[in-house]
Structure 1
Amino acid sequence: MSLPRRTGRTGRRGGFTVFAVVAAVLTALSTATPAHAASGSITGLAGKCVDVAGAGSANGTAVQLYDCNGSNAQIWSNSGDGTLRALGKCLDIADRGTADGAAVQLWDCSGGSNQQWVVSPAHDIVNPAADKCLDVRDNTSANGARLQIWSCSGGANQKWNAPAGGGGGGGGGGTTPSGFVVTEAQFNDMFPNRNPFYTYSGLIAALNAYPGFTNTGSDTVRKQEAAAFLANVNHETGALVYVVEQNTANYPNYCDFSQPYGCPAGQSSYYGRGPIQLSWNFNYKAVGDQLGVDLLNNPWLLETDAAIAWQTGLWYWNTQNGPGTMTPHEAMVNSAGFGETIRSINGALECDGRAPDGVQSRVDAYNRFTSILGVPTGGNLYC
């Protein structure tokens, strides 16, 4: 199934008075349920994630904004007691501060008021004791920007998508409780004979790493992107039947010895795996670095961990343009059309009349999946 793809990274990835916003937040505190048990990423400015610096769990570790990568340092749970927890500790205001600019950090959970947070329906995260909002210092989206509390202003640097019942983690209408636009029943309808390895829960777990996926644009655009991704996955894996590339003769061909890190798992270890059939040592290195998983030395994880396998497919979809000029995600959210997703995934071997049967297989699946999701296909289906 897998075809050699040398990929190149693409460049990613005025208002209210203070009193009016604080009054709105206080109203929300009285109406929003502080927490339904949930966990996932908390995203803010530029779609970046609330992150524990260095994935450290020591008391006082800084909490910052950083590119989303799906690591445990970016998974926050809201267990129903008003706390937000990562790595077994609580989001905490340093020195029990209540003044503007008081830094937030990770600390042992103590039940203190400086560890209590409410996610409002307006996407604020508020500490009731200080009557202030979680805020990105200096209103910057740079990696490493520290988080603090500040008087609620309604600014973009105080807006969050968080895993809480009162907040908004998953987009608008037409989504499932997980926030994904494809229900499990629809997924099963799309792939009735899939390999048990490709679980729906694994896909849902992988979504946290790329919060913009199927969460950008209108409900129609979000569903079209989901259909487009799954249609390409359908073609690459024989309708989610194949976990690994079937042509074993190709296995020795995916080691680029010019890379300084070589092929430590063995020359024949970087064959196609997972929903986009990821291949080549440089792809395993790049996606492993992004996800914080050593796939260069242990590529077999893609055959045993469904969430990691799905994450590699989403990595390619959201960050790589391959032989195309844009990522597949960009193609769908910017109305370039399904055909451009084919070009970005395997255009060098399929597009411009090279393999029309392969292109048609992808288009047929996209037509079927958009029908299941109840949306039109849009234009430019072929490449």
Structure 2
Amino acid sequence: MSRQRLIAFLTALAVAVGLAILVPLASTASAAECTTPYSSSAVYTGGMTASYNSHNWQAKWWTQGETPSTGGSGVWADQGSCGSGSGGTGGTTGGSGNCNYPAWVAGHNYVAGDIVKYTNGNYYKASHDNPGYDPVISTWYWDPYGCNGGGGTTPPSNGSFVVSEAQFNQMFPSRNSFYSYSGLTAALSAYPGFATTGSDTVKKQEAAAFLANVSHETGGLVYITEIDKSGNYCDANQSYGCPAGTYAYYGRGPIQLSWNFNYKAAGDALGVNLLNNPSLVETDSAIAWKTGLWYWNTQTGPGTMTGHNAMVNGAGFGETIRSINGSIECNGGNPAQVQSRINAYQNFVSILGVPAGNNLSC
């Protein structure tokens, strides 16, 4: 009997005696989890990912405002379908079940996709392989991760920033167009705790404190770079040297980032090669704002705490001055400069409708 006739005979026999025919179903591989949804206002650099139309995409180089697709400039690489594949316009970062991921360990090697619990109680997912970088500082390597029972932090969107565009324009009526509101809001995702921590009053006080110091450093967001660029901000003792040139690391951006070691540290944290390309801080608005937020959220400078911690933990505006330029201005060093910062802060909290709080000076 031929194979085909045998199969037909056995099928007919099974039907006759009432047996169910078990037909093997085609196996389906579950789609990958969708990463953070694409945002047209966000800046993406090489290696960063976003989800769009139920697919994950990876940027090959810097881009902003180009919707992920296989066409266009070719900046986006399709990483395959994600989520349920239902055709939505993006995915959500999240997990199922209870959060029982291991604690983050400094110096431990992580690969993209690893999820850890950080010391602040929030969860983070590695977006790129890294040798144990801090999830709060090295935000290019980690994304906030939310799961049932967990406390993932959601980066603020343009509409949720505590300073509206109208208020921003009121604060900086003569600003250089380079310092755009869209550039600032695009940079917020790098440090999701900024102006989102604490009460509504504290959130607005922190935003006002950051912008007041920024205003002082840039003459009201007028100067993109420092006026005198002849200074040598190259520490030749660093192993990586000064590849962009001895005089290339002058002050740039909202907090006037300077010195080769600061460009190296900020670039490593943000996933941008600022050591070799310091000019990005004066040509890319979002990157400029990110360097300011990097310093504010991660650097203590000559102080004992970051500007962010000073405002959310009640130390007061005076401690933010100390962390930025305290070695020169505080303790009677330059009271006129300190007062200039305080005046800007008081003006900005008035615009935002909150009190200034205590400990304004240093």
Does the TM-score normalized on the shorter chain lie above 0.5?
yes
**Distance in 1 between the 2:147 and 2:354 partners?**
38
**In the alignment, which of 63, 87, 112 is matched to residue 58 of structure 2?**
87
1:271 aligns with 2:273: no
One-letter code of the match for 2:149? G
The structure 2 residue matched to 1:138, chosen from 101, 111, 118, is 101
CA distance 1:353–1:75, shift in 2 (3 Å): farther
Residue 342 of structure 1 is matched in structure 2 by 321
Within a 5 Å distance, the mapping from 1:214-253 to structure 2 comes to: 214-248=195-229, 251-253=230-232
**CA contact 2:204–2:352 (8 Å) conserved in 1:** yes
The aligned residue for residue 63 of structure 2 is none
Shift, 1:311, TM fit: 0.5
Residue 377 of structure 1 pairs with residue 356 of structure 2 = yes
Aligned position for 1:368: 347
- Per-residue CA distance 1:200-231 (angstroms, 9 max, x = gap): 11001111111111111111100000000000
**Aligned pair partner of 1:154 in 148, 158, 170:** 148
Residue aligning to 2:84: 113
Structure 2 unaligned residues grouped into runs of 5+:
1-35, 60-76, 117-145
Deviation at residue 257 of structure 1 after TM alignment: 1.2
Cα 1:161–1:339 change in 2 (3 A) is closer
Alpha-carbon distance, 1:136 to partner = 6.1
Letter matched to residue 345 of structure 1: I
Instruction: Calculate the aligned-residue CA RMSD, in Å.
Output: 3.4
Give the alignment partner of residue 271 of structure 2, picking from 271, 292, 298: 292
Residue 268 of structure 1 aligns with an amino acid whose one-letter code is Y
Give the alignment's TM-score, normalised by structure 2: 0.68
Q: Which letter does structure 2 place at the counterpart of 1:146?
A: D
Deviations 1:341-361 (A, max 9, x none): 000000000000001111001
**Once the 2 structures are TM-superposed, how far is the Cα of residue 87 of structure 1 from its aligned partner?**
1.5
Please give the alpha-carbon distance, in whole angstroms, between the structure 1 residues aligned to 2:79 and 2:340: 53
Alpha-carbon deviation of 1:137? Answer: 6.2
Secondary structure of the residue that 2:287 maps to in structure 1?
helix
Between Structure 1 and Structure 2, which shows a larger proportion of helix residues? 1
Q: Give 1:190 shift.
A: 0.2
Task: Please show how residues 160-239 of structure 1 align to structure 2 within 5 Å.
Answer: 160-161=152-153, 169-170=155-156, 177-239=158-220
Task: State the shift of 1:247 in Å.
Answer: 2.2
Deviations 1:296-330 (A, max 9, x none): 11111111100111010000000000000000000
Query: In structure 2, do the counterparts of structure 1 residues 36 and 244 end up closer, same or farther at CA, with 3 Å as the change threshold?
Result: closer
Kindly indicate whether the alpha-carbon contact (under 8 Å) linking 2:99 and 2:149 is maintained by their aligned counterparts in 1. no
% identical equivalent positions: 57
SS of the residue corresponding to residue 160 of structure 2 reads coil
2:148 maps to a residue whose letter is G
Is 2:237 the counterpart of 1:255?
no
Give the letter for the 1:76 counterpart: A
Structural mapping, 1:40-55, within 5 Å: none
Does structure 1 conserve the Cα–Cα contact (< 8 Å) formed by 2:163 and 2:207? yes
> What is the alpha-carbon distance in structure 2 between the residues aligned to residue 111 and residue 153 of structure 1?
17
One of 358, 363, 371 as aligned partner of 2:337: 358
Q: Name which one, 1 or 2, has greater alpha-carbon Rg.
A: 2
Report 1 or 2 for greater relative contact order, CA contacts < 8 Å, sequence distance ≥ 6: 1
Shift of 1:85: 3.3
Say if 1:350 and 1:112 are closer, same or farther in 2 by CA, change over 3 A.
Answer: closer
Number of corresponding residues:
277
CA–CA separation in structure 2 for the residues paired with 1:222 and 1:199: 21
TM-score by length of 1: 0.64
1:76 is the counterpart of 2:50: yes
- Separation in 2 of the partners of 1:294 and 1:118? 31
